[in-house]
Amino acid sequence: MGQQEIFSAERKHSLALKNRERVTLDGITSVISFDEGAVVLETALGPLTVEGEGLRVTKLLLEAGEVAVEGKVSALIYGEGSHGKGRFFRRLGG
């Protein structure tokens, strides 16, 4: 296995969004902040902000890198590097 393969194997992150009401994530290294309007997370691949209404963290297992957020999800925003700018998904409609 080459060095690039080892590097990418160590940096895994995924998310699943169900009905714009529940997002489950893995590869989370820390929770930066959260309130009813936004949850800011650090993933293995950089920062991620979940925006919406009535958001609440329903699962938090940082040792396993797992987080679940419920509420009305309106945007998933990935940043470049540590808390930088960049967009992956912006508005999810609605």
In this prediction, residues 6-31 reach a mean pLDDT of 85
pTM, rounded to two decimals: 0.76
Residue 83, sorted as left (phi over 0), alpha (psi -120 to 50) or beta, turns out to be left
- Provide CB contacts within 8 A for 44, sequence distance 6+: 10, 11, 12, 13, 27, 28, 29, 65
**pLDDT tens-digit series, residues 33-59:** 999 999 999 998 899 999 999 999 999
Range 13-78 has CATH code 2.60.40.2000:
yes
